[in-house]
Structure 1
C-alpha cells in the first residue's frame, strides 16, 4: 500500500459522523461522590477492623480452631473490601461479600464461640464491626436493602448476645443499649450517603440540561447561519448561472452556462462541508464506501445491513464517492427519522468496474416529494443537488409501501 493510499484511507476514516460527540460525563459528580464514599468507608473500616482484630487476637488463648475460622470468615472479606475501596475497583462485590459473611458469622457466633464470658458489659470483638457491615451494605445495595441491613444486623447481634447470656435480665439492658446505638448510627450513615448521592445526581442532571440547552442553541445558531449562507449562495451563484443560461445564444455560451450551473450545484451540495472535506479525484474502492455506510448504520443504531452486489473491485473518483456516501447518509437519516428504520436496507452494486449504484429502501409510510416545502433542503440539496454536482443521478420513489432512494454514477 502506497503513502497516497494510506493517506486516502485516513482521510476517509476522518469523515465527520453525526454522533461523534463527547459522552461519559453525564455521571461525573455521581462517580466522584461514589469514590469519596468508598474512600471514607475504607478509612473507617481499616480503623475499626484493626481494633476488632486486636481484640480478637488478645482473647485467642488458647488457640481455638472455631475462633480462628470465625476470624478468617470475617477479616478476609473485610480486607478485600478495604483494598477494593482504596483502588476504586470491584467495590460492590467486595462490600456485598463482607456484608453477607459478617451476617453468617453473627448467626454462627453462639455455636462456634462458647458463652464463657458472663459479663454483659464485656463486648465481643465482632461488635465493633456491626456498623462496618452497614457501611458495606451502603456501598453494595440499593437504599431499601441498605435500610433492611441497618435494622437486621444490630437486631441479629442483639439476639446473639442474649443467646450467649442465656436471656438473663442483666443482659437485656446492655444489649438493648448496644442495639439501639448501632441502629441509630447505621441509619444516620445510610441517610447521609443517600443525601450525598441525591445531591450529586441533581448536579449531574443540571449539567446535562445545561449541555443540552447549549447544544440546542448552537444548533439553532448554526442552522440560521447556514440559512443565510444558502440564501446568499442561491442569490449569487445559482441566479448568475440561470441568467447566463437564459442569455446563452451559442454553443460556447451554453457550455459556459452549464459549467456555471455545475459549479453552483457543487457549492450548494457542499455548503455544510469544508473545502478540505470535498474529496479529490483519486479512485476510491467500493469496499471503502461499503465500510463507511456500515459505520453510519452502526453509529445511528440502525438494525440494517449493507448488501454488496456485482463487481467487488469497482472504483469511482473520490469526489463521487464522497457525494454518494453523504447522499446515502442523508437518505438513511430520513428513513430513521420518518420511517423509524422499518425495513431499512442498503444495497451497493456495481454493474461494471467504473459504475456504482447505491439503493436505500425502507418500509415506512412514504411521502409525497412534490409536497415538500421550498425551504426543506434535506432532499433537494443533500441528495439531488449533491449527486447532480458530480454528474450522478438520484431517483426517489415513495408511496404507502415505503420509500426507495437510488443513487447512481457512471462515467460520461
Structure 2
C-alpha cells in the first residue's frame, strides 16, 4: 500500500507542467520559477546600473594614481560574472554573493585608494556609488533574508562613512551624502521587501499545492482500496460461492467433477488475484524449465539464486498451468525467506522423477523459523500464494519450520488430477 500511495503521489505531481528549474524538487514548483524570475530581473537591472558606473569611471577618478584601474577591475569583473550567471541561470547565487562581498571590501579600501587624490566635489558622486544598490540586489539572489537586511543597511552606511572620510568630514558633504545614503537605503529596502514577498507567496502556493496533491493521493489510494475490495468481493461471490453451490447440488459423478473443477478454478483466481488474469498457454514444459523460471524470477526480485537440479531424463513434461503455479509458489517462499530470514542459508532444489512421474521443489532457509499453526488467517503470503496456489493445480505442500530454519516442499505428480 505504501508503494501504491507513492506511485499515486508521483502520478499526481506528473500532472503538473515541469521545467529544468522545477524538476529537481517538485515540492518547490512555484518557488523555483520565482527564483528564476528574480535572477532574470537582477541580471539586466544590474547591467543597466553597471553601465552607468562604467561611464562614470571613464571620467577623472577620485583615486590616487595607480589605484583607479585595479579598483575598477576588482569591482567590474565580479559584476560582469554575476550578470552573465543571472541571465544564463548558471550559479547565480555563487557569483552574486561574490560580487556583494567584493563590493563591500572595495568600499572599505576606498579611503586608502583616495587618500591624497583629487579633492572631491560635493555634488558629484564617485563611480562606486552607482553600484551600492547593485550589491543590495545581489544579496537578494545570494543570501538569506537576515543577511539581505544586514547588507541593505550596512552597505549604504559604509558608503556614506568612507565618502565623508574621503572628504575629510567637510560639512558641505553632509547633506548630499545623507541624501545618497537615504536613497540607497529606501531603494534597497524596497527590493528586499519585494523579494521576500514574492518568495513567501510562492512558498504558500507550493504548500497549498502539496496539500492538494497529498489529498488527491489519499483519495485515489482509498478509491483503489475500495475498488480492490469490491473486486475481491465479486470474485468470492462469483467464483467461490458458485463452486460451493455447485458442490452442494452435485448428485452425479459428472456434476461432482464439475464442482471440483470450479473450486480449483476459484482457488487459482483467488491466489492469482494480484496477477494478470490471463494465465498463458497450458503447453507442457520440461522440468528444467521450472528451474530456469525460478532463477530468472529470483533475479527480478534482486536475489541471485542457483537452483540445484536433479532431473531424471524420463521425467514427464509438466503442464503449463502447473508449472506456473509451482514457480510462483516457490518464488513466494523465496521472498518470505528473504524478508523474514534475511536469505540466510537460502537454497532451492528441484527434483524430477520418472516413476512415479512428477516434480518436487524445495525451498530452504536457515532463519529462526515460525509456528506454522500460528499463521494468522489474514496472512495470504503462505495460505493464498503457496498453499492455495499449489492445491488449485492438484499439488501438495508441506512446510516444516523450526529453530534451524524453514523448508517448503512443493510436490506434483503426473498421476494427480488437476
Same fold (TM over 0.5): yes
CA RMSD of aligned residues (A): 4.3
1:148 to 150, 160, 165: 150
Mapped pair 1:184 → 2:186: yes
Correspondence for 1:220: 222
Corresponding residue for residue 167 of structure 1? 169
Structure 2 residue 109 is the aligned partner of structure 1 residue 112: no
Q: How does 1:342-381 map to 2 (within 5 A)?
A: 345-346=342-343, 349-352=347-350, 355=361, 357=363, 369-370=375-376
How far is 1:163 from its partner? 1.5
> Which runs of structure 2 are paired with 1:10-409 in the superposition (5 Å)?
18=4, 19-20=6-7, 21-22=10-11, 24-59=25-60, 65-114=66-115, 115-245=117-247, 256-275=258-277, 285-286=293-294, 288-294=296-302, 311=308, 345-346=342-343, 349-352=347-350, 355=361, 357=363, 369-370=375-376, 385=388
SS of residue in 1 equivalent to 2:122: coil
Shift in Å, 1:272: 4.4
- 8 Å CA contact 1:279–1:322 kept in 2: the answer is no
Shift of residue 96, structure 1, vs aligned partner:
1.2
Deviation of 1:197 after TM superposition, in Å, equals 0.7
The 3 A distance-change label for structure 1 pair 310 and 228 is closer
Distance 2:96 2:162 in 1: 23
Rounded Cα–Cα distance in structure 2 between residues aligned with 1:51 and 1:92: 23
1:111 match: secondary structure: helix
Does the aligned pair in 1 maintain the 2:295–2:306 contact within 8 Å? Answer: no
Question: 3-state DSSP class of the match of 1:27?
Answer: helix
Rate the CA distance shift 1:81–1:346 in 2: closer, same or farther, 3 A. farther
5+ residue gaps, structure 2: 14-24, 312-319, 353-360, 414-418
Structure 1 residue 154 displacement after superposition: 1.3
Q: Give the distance between the partners of 1:139 and 1:236, measured in 2 at CA.
A: 65
Any idea what the Cα deviations from partners look like across 1:243-301, whole Å, max 9, x if unmatched?
Answer: 4455668887666544433321232234344436x67789555554344334xxxxxxx
Is the radius of gyration larger for structure 1 or structure 2? 2
Q: Which residue of 1 aligns with 2:17?
A: none
Aligned to 2:315: none
- Structure 1 residue 135 displacement after superposition: 1.2
Residues 393 and 89 from structure 1, CA distance in 2 versus in 1: closer, same or farther, beyond 3 angstroms?
Answer: farther
Return the alpha-carbon distance in structure 1 between the equivalents of residues 121 and 157 of structure 2.
20
In structure 1, C-alpha distance between the alignment counterparts of 2:100 and 2:222, rounded to whole Å = 52
Tell me what 1:14 maps to. Answer: none
Q: Distance in 2 between matches of 1:135 and 1:145?
A: 12
Deviations 1:361-406 (A, max 9, x none): 899xxxx743x66xx87876567656766768696989xx9xx998
Superposition TM-score, scaled by structure 1 size: 0.72
- Describe the superposition over 1:188-244 as per-residue Cα deviations: whole angstroms up to 9, x where unpaired: 111111110111111111111111112222222222222222112111111223344
Q: Alignment partner of 1:350: what SS?
A: strand
Q: Give the number of equivalent residue pairs.
A: 364
Gaps of 5+ in 1: 1-16, 295-305, 336-342
Query: Is this contact kept in 2: 1:345–1:362, CA < 8 A?
Result: no
